[in-house]
Each structure stands twice: as structure tokens, then as C-alpha cells.
Amino acid sequence: MIRHTVVFRLKHPKGSDPEARFLADARVLASIPGVGQFEQLRQVSPKNDYDFGFSMEFADQAAYSLYNDHPDHVAFVRDRWIPEVEAFLEIDYEPLTTA
């Protein structure tokens, strides 16, 4: 299993219509085959300056690769993410095995 996470800050003013549209349009990512447990999150810690997070899970690397290459993901990154996101940090996790 791979958990794909990203925290980010938008170029839009907080609480603005463009911010709301971006978040609404990002829900297209949840419908891409292989995406599980999709969540949109509001970041609340004062320890960093990001505002939002997305989290999703994939069964394996093959499912994650299909997501990355899917036309809806590619279009969202090109048309919305790159022009509208000011800063981000992406982290992908695999569970540790326990003894």
C-alpha cells in the first residue's frame, strides 16, 4: 500500500471563490481508478505555512503509477495545480513492517 499525501498553499485569498472552486474541482482526483481513501484536509498546525492537504491510498506501485499517468490527473496538474498552487510538499508513504 502507498499513501500519497501533499500539503499546499494556494495563490488565492483564503476563503475566496477561486479557492473553493479549486478544492471542488480537485475532487476529480477521487474518481481516478485505483484511488482509495481520498481526503481533502485543512491544515491547522501553526508549525508550518501550508493551508490544505490531500491524502489518498493506492494498493501498490502499479496503481499509483496509473494514477500519475491518468489523463484526469495530468490535466489537473497542468491546468489547475501548476497555475494556482504557490507552494507544496509531497510525501508518499509505505507501511513499515513490524516484527
Indicate the domain borders of the chain.
7-84
d(CA 44, CA 82): 24
Sign, CA torsion 60/30/19/22: positive
Write out pLDDT tens, residues 59-74: 999 999 999 999 999 9
- Among residues of the chain, what percentage have pLDDT more than 70? 98
Given this model, what pLDDT does residue 97 score?
A: 80
Is the CB of residue 75 less than 8 Å from the CB of residue 59? no
Mean pLDDT of the chain: 95
Beta bridge partners of 93: 3
- The per-residue pLDDT for range 31-60, each reduced to its tens digit, is 999 999 999 999 999 999 999 999 999 999
Residues shown for the chain: 99
Fold classification of 7-84 is Alpha-Beta Plaits (3.30.70)
Closest residue by Cα to residue 26 from 46, 47, 55: 55
Residue 99: what pLDDT? Answer: 61
C-alpha cell at position 52? 490544505
